[in-house]
Amino acid sequence: MRKKLYLPVFILVVSTFVHAPFAYAWGNEGHRLINRLAALSLPQDAPGFLRGAGAVSEIEYLGPEADRWRSLAEPELLAVQAPEHFIDLELADPLGPLPHRRFDFEAAVYASGQRPDKIGLQPWQATEVWERLKAALREYRRLSSANQDTHDVEQAAIFYAGWLGHYVGDACQPLHTTVQYNGWTGPNPNGYTTEHKIHWQFEGPFVGANIHESDVQPRMTITHALQGDVFDDYVAYLRRTSKYVERVYQLEKAGGFEGSGSQQSRDFTADRIAAGASMLRDMVYSAWLRSADPEPQRPVSGN
């Protein structure tokens, strides 16, 4: 889950509520499920080391990893990486098309009188981790072709795949794409909840109690290697997710996230998690395919 609070305010909240339940996005169970199903569904032509039982277990474990870095015990880490879990598209879009480079976006945000940590940096973080994975897989290919030991680079690639899964998982949760992330703000003609509990209620206890692998796996799409620019494809994925923001509030209003919820709320949540697992599988597989592309030569410079 996201926190858009400056550190002093956040400290006050946490000191009041101790381990408040909004500490993790999709909860431990949802993130692990997304990563596990993605790893299990990798095609046979993906590297065997990514598909083995040990790799699947590690990738699953790493699903919630980026939320484990959100403790007050590491305040600098908390502050710098919290915005990487979300993006408020209503605030980002008025600045123009999202640029591919993180610093270009941050410069545009500052020029508008805003701060990047208030808008979010989700697509840049996800794309940057994906590129780390692709670079590791390129090194795996190089070492393999030279008949050299690949154990260390395999471990790196497994870590990157699992780490990537956290952000891809966050991005299939509609409340990670909007200013309406935890209680409706502004005009509210439909009477949606304004209490600050919908976010965790939806993605945490409800998922943990009601959504299982057998609910999600049949809803996954067939494997689809990303063909275009990965950043653009990822932003399109975020925009698909954002279309469901109001649906989350409609389901909450109908009691859909209380107890076992309703068939509609269970189906909706399973569909969202399946979308995340499918996208993660496709991104990992695409990193493998594109790691075979020729590496551009660095320009000659004096530095």
Question: What pLDDT shows up at residue 5?
Answer: 39
Q: Decide if pLDDT at 146 tops 90.
A: yes
Question: What pLDDT shows up at residue 25?
Answer: 61
- The neighbouring-strand residues paired with 87 are 120
Q: b vs e for 80-96, b when ≥16 Cβ sit within 10 Å of the residue's Cβ?
A: ebbbbbbbbbebbeeee
Instruction: Read off the pLDDT band of 299 (50, 70, 90).
Output: confident
Q: How far apart are CA 2 and CA 11, in angstroms?
A: 15
Report yes or no on 220 lying in a domain: yes
Boundaries of domain holding 165: 7-290
Instruction: Read off the pLDDT band of 26 (50, 70, 90).
Output: confident
What is the arithmetic mean of pLDDT over 234-251?
A: 98
Report yes or no on 295 lying in a domain: no
User: How many of the other CB atoms lie within 10 Å of CB of 119?
Assistant: 23
Structure-token match 């990992």, residue found: 284
The CATH number covering residue 230 comes to: 1.10.575
Q: How far apart are CA 92 and CA 99, in angstroms?
A: 11
| Total domains in the fold of the chain | 1
Whether the CB-CB separation of 122 and 105 falls below 8 Å is answered with: no
Considering only CA atoms, give the Rg of the chain: 20
Candidates 85, 56, 86; CA nearest to 68 is: 85
pLDDT, tens digit, for every residue of 155-188? 999 999 999 999 999 999 999 999 999 999 999 9
Report yes or no on 302 lying in a domain: no
Instruction: Read off the pLDDT band of 300 (50, 70, 90).
Output: confident
Two tokens, residue 224: 């689809």
pLDDT, tens digit, for every residue of 180-209? 999 999 999 999 999 999 999 999 999 999
Q: How far apart are CA 175 and CA 177, in angstroms?
A: 5
Query: Which pTM value belongs to this model?
Result: 0.90
Whether the CB-CB separation of 284 and 131 falls below 8 Å is answered with: no
Whether the CB-CB separation of 165 and 65 falls below 8 Å is answered with: no
Report yes or no on 303 lying in a domain: no
Q: Decide if pLDDT at 262 tops 60.
A: yes
Report yes or no on 300 lying in a domain: no
Instruction: Read off the pLDDT band of 292 (50, 70, 90).
Output: very high
Structure-token match 């990798």, residue found: 42
